Amino acid sequence: MASTAVKRSSPALPALLRKDSWWMSPMGFVALFTAFSIWVTFRAFQGDYYSTIVTDVATRLFSGNGWLIPNYLTPLYSPTLPSITLGTYHVSPALYILIFPLSFRLSCYYYRKAIYRGYLADPLACAVTEPAPLDKARRLKYNGERTLPLIIMNFHRFAFYAAVVFIVLLWKDTIDAFFFHAANQPWHFGVHVGSIVFLINILLLSAYTFSCHSWRHLIGGSADCYSCSVLARTRYGLWNKVSFLNERHGLWAMASLVSVALTDVYVFLVTTGTLRGPWV
């Protein structure tokens, strides 16, 4: 469909109809997402301190003192891939690994709403007038997400497929986080603080991924009749369960953002030797 500019036919909304603390949500999102972005950017370029089984880390921190060597790989560097050499510059693998999970988050319906409100003030919130100069300029050429660059958001379903692959990989990393070994000894099962950190993170990431609107549509969308066949009834049952998760999508979105960051911080602190002990 050809895109057409949308003009507001009625006067702007009153300056401030809402008397509640509507600004807390966008401001809280901006604070959290900005802190997350700064930390992840730092870590992605750092290219180090991301795995406890790198020989140097395991030897330096865990060998010779009786501590068991854990198998922790930060989600920012999973799966383990080599860095790319461009001339004299080594491109950290996190820089191309993160393209996929970040595409998923940035095209997520919840993040789009939060980013448009928190960073672009477009709109600020329901029943709150946008800053006047911005409002006037935007209304004259408002095309929603039907033209470049925002039309790219429509690729969210494909980002979801990639996210599912990453969930599988991160579940494997989580299982690995429950296995430890002494130097030159076989791996065995154990539960340390890091194991719990990884488990909480993957549970929150799974809740976020499988509460996705695209997943809900794949499960139960495009069905005209939910009672016409066994398959349709099964889809309806699954759709109800996904809908339960979906109703809390914003919660999973933010909780998993925090858990990814905290899991990475934990691995960073362990691999730098800041957190030490038989329990890490």
**The only residue of 72, 110, 266, 268 in contact with ligand FES, by rule CB under 6 A:** 110
Within residues 241-260, the interface with ligand FES by CB under 6 A covers 249
Q: Which of 76, 122, 119, 83 is nearest to 99 (CA)?
A: 76
Burial class (CB within 10 angstroms; exposed 0-12, middle 13-18, buried 19+) of 77 = buried
Please, what's the b/e burial string for 100-131 (b: 16 or more CB within 10 A of its CB; e: otherwise)?
ebebbbebbebbbebbbbbeebebbbeebebe
Backbone φ, ψ for residue 220 (5° rounding): -125, 0
Q: Is 202 in the site for ligand FES (CB under 6 A)?
A: no
Q: Is 170 in the site for ligand FES (CB under 6 A)?
A: no
Q: Is 115 in the site for ligand FES (CB under 6 A)?
A: no
CB of 216 vs ligand FES, minimal distance in Å? 9
Query: What tokens does 141 get?
Result: 């050429």
Piece of the chain touching ligand FES by CB under 6 A; list 21-29, 63-71, 79-87, 211-219: 211-219
Q: Is 78 in the site for ligand FES (CB under 6 A)?
A: no
Q: Is 109 in the site for ligand FES (CB under 6 A)?
A: yes
Q: Is 33 in the site for ligand FES (CB under 6 A)?
A: no
Q: Is 212 in the site for ligand FES (CB under 6 A)?
A: yes
Q: Between 134 and 167, whose beta carbon lies closer to ligand FES?
A: 167
CB of 108 vs ligand FES, minimal distance in Å? 3
Q: Between 215 and 266, whose beta carbon lies closer to ligand FES?
A: 215
Q: Which residue type is seen at 9?
A: S
C-alpha 92: how far from chain center: 19
Within residues 80-99, the interface with ligand FES by CB under 6 A covers none
The residues pairing with 69 across neighbouring beta strands, listed in sequence order, are: 181
Q: Between 72 and 208, whose beta carbon lies closer to ligand FES?
A: 208
89 by DSSP, 3-state: which?
strand
Contacts of 53 (CB under 8 A, 6+ apart): 69, 70, 71, 72, 73
Binding interface with ligand FES (CB under 6 A): 108-110, 156, 160, 212-214, 249
